[in-house]
Each structure stands twice: as structure tokens, then as C-alpha cells.
Amino acid sequence: MASEITTSEYIKHHLQNLTFGQKQTEIEPGVWAPTGEWGFAMSPAEAANMGFWSINVDTMLMSILLGALMMWFFRSVAKKVSTGVPTGSQNFAEMIIDFIDDTVRGSFSGGKNKLVAPLALTIFVWVFLMNLMDLIPVDVIPQIVMQSAAAIFGVDPHHVYFKIVPTTDPNATLGMAIFVFMLMLYYSFKIKGTGGFISELTLQPFGKWALPINTVLETVTLLSKPFSLGLRLFGNMYAGEMVFILIATMYGAGLAMGSFAGLLQIGWAIFHILIITLQAFIFMVLTTVYLDMAHQEHH
């Protein structure tokens, strides 16, 4: 039954999110029109044409599940915390919290703000968990989802798409970055005051008389922060997952190529462990640094 799918079809299949939105039909080639009912996109082209009001169900599902897992873990440790003999999980949780606390204490000097450290912990652990999904071999979870969808809903498995790594979806990473940007603006206005913040944006590098140049420079710098924060995580994870997918295409090419691909996959997975933790750490440190800059009182 499985027709011989080409490499690019395989790659495109693994790059497509499970998108839910207004169903589209193709009237003429290249012209798509909504059919008025809601449902899952059955092809990448349809998903692309669903426009703004469509949601990547797999990204949301995986990120919410991983967030719940994180909160359940820390809550379960907090519930049975004992000052006497700490259990294994308590040691592990304490290790993470101490590590985050030192880092935040080092880079955040903005005075009394009880939000920054918990936010840093949440970002680090959550982004790390989301990135960790990239280490699961490419076809495992999507195959499970495809077969179960075919079994339960009787859908043709070739049209069931599922991306398990939420951080390879720019919506997720830019969404988090925009939230950090909103926090930056909130604290800038709150700590510096509207006048202080506006003067920082307009009078900065070249003093009062070069106001237009200052404004352009400062706003570009301000806007580039969330943009680079979000796209850095996306770029690293997307490229990492792409390499996994390309290695996975080698498995279909006979025993020799397959075993060589196995070695490649192990090597890249080990190297990717460093990238996963590093990107989560950088996302956290930069969030702390940006919030710290938002707290800088002007003399």
C-alpha cells in the first residue's frame, strides 16, 4: 500500500505541522478558497493557505504537556521535601534551582524583583524539555500518531502530520520571545517611567541634537532583541532537526548506508545534547539580561 515516497516528500512530510483551521479547497491550481468548515489540513499547501486563524495543534500539545510535566515534577519534589535525607529527585531539583539562582544572581542586579528567578527557571527547564524532544528518533512519535489516527479516525496516514519538537515551530519560539519583550516594556515603563524610557530611546548615543538618528538606532536595537531571541532558538533547533531528518533518509538506502547513518545519528545526537542545553541556557540568560537592562535606573 505504501507507495514509493521520494526523499523530498519524506522531508516535507516531516516538516509539516498538524494544523487545525478553516478547511481549504483548491478551485483552480494555486487558488485556494475556504470551504466554511473547520478541520485539520490534509496537505502542506492547504495548511499554508489556512491563513491567520489556524493553530499548530502538535506544537501546542507538546509544549503544554511538557510544561505540565515540569510543573508536576517540581511540585512533587516540593511536596515531599525533607531537610533530613534528601531523595534523589530532590537533589536533582535543588541542583537545577541552585544553578539557575547563581546565574540569575550574577546577571540580574535590578534589585527586588521576585519574578525574574522563577521565570528564568521556567524558561530554562521548559525550553530544555522542548528541545529534548529532538533527540527522539525522527520517525518514532510521528509513526505512532499516524497509525493511531489511521486506526481510530480512519484517516489516510500519509496525510497525518506531527512535529514533536515545539521549538522548531517559529510560532512557539517567537511567541515566547514576544512575551519576554512585553515584560521588558512593562518593567521599562514601570521602573524608568514613561519619560525616562522615552528619553533613553531618543537621547541615547549622540545626545540631544541627533534625535532622529538616536531614535532609529535605539528602536532597531530594541526590536532586534526579541526577534533575535526567538529566531536563534528556532534556527538552531530547525537546523538540528533537519540534519536528523536527512540522516533518517539514509536508512532507506540499504544496509551499508543504513549502518553508517546509525553512526551519524548517534554522533549528531551526542553533539546535539550540548546544543539543546546551550540554547535553553542562552535563552534564559538573555531574558535575565534584558530584564536587568529594563530595570536600570537612570542617574
Partner 1 sequence: MDMGLVYIAGALMIGLGALGAAIGVGLLGGRFLEAAARQPELVPMLRTQFFLVAGLVDAVPMIAVGLAMYVLFAVAG
Catalytic residues: 228, 232, 236
Site size toward partner 1, by CB under 8 A: 21
82 phi/psi in degrees, rounded to 5:
-135, 135
User: What grid cell was written down for 210?
Assistant: 541627533
Give min distance, CB of 81 to partner 1, in A.
28
Cell (9 digits) for 239? 537546523
Q: In the window 16-45, what residues touch partner 1 (CB under 8 A)?
A: 44
Q: Establish if 260 lies at the interface with partner 1 (CB under 8 A).
A: no
- Rule CB under 8 A: choose which of 62, 77, 285, 291 binds partner 1: 285
Residue 278 binds partner 1, judged by CB under 8 A: yes
What is the distance, to the nearest Å, from the Cα of residue 125 to the centroid of all Cα atoms in its chain? Answer: 12
- 211 belongs to the binding site for partner 1 (CB under 8 A): no
Strand 31-40 relative to strand 55-56, pairing: unpaired
Q: 113, 296, 292: which is closest to 197 by C-alpha?
A: 296
Residue 83 in contact with partner 1, rule: CB under 8 A: no
Question: Under DSSP, is residue 92 helix (H, G, I), strand (E, B) or coil?
Answer: helix
Q: Cα separation of 86 and 67, whole Å?
A: 24
**Half-sphere exposure (Cβ direction) of 141: Cα atoms closer than 13 Å:** 14
Residue 12 near partner 1 by CB under 8 A: yes
Residues of this chain, 225-244, that bind partner 1 according to CB under 8 A: 228, 231-232, 234-239, 242
CB 54 within 8 A of CB 16: no
3-state class of 51 per DSSP? coil
- Segment interacting with partner 1 (CB under 8 A) among 22-30, 80-88, 152-160, 277-285: 277-285
**Does residue 8 touch partner 1 according to CB under 8 A?**
yes
Among 131, 279, 287, 288, binds partner 1 (CB under 8 A): 279
268 binds partner 1 (CB under 8 A): no
* Least spacing, CB of residue 116 vs partner 1, in Å: 18
Site stretch for partner 1 (CB under 8 A), options 22-30, 62-70, 130-138, 273-281: 273-281
The secondary structure of residue 191, as a DSSP letter, is: I
* 117 touches 104 (CB < 8 A): yes
By CB under 8 A, name the binding residues for partner 1: 8, 11-12, 15, 44, 228, 231-232, 234-239, 242, 274, 278-279, 281-282, 285
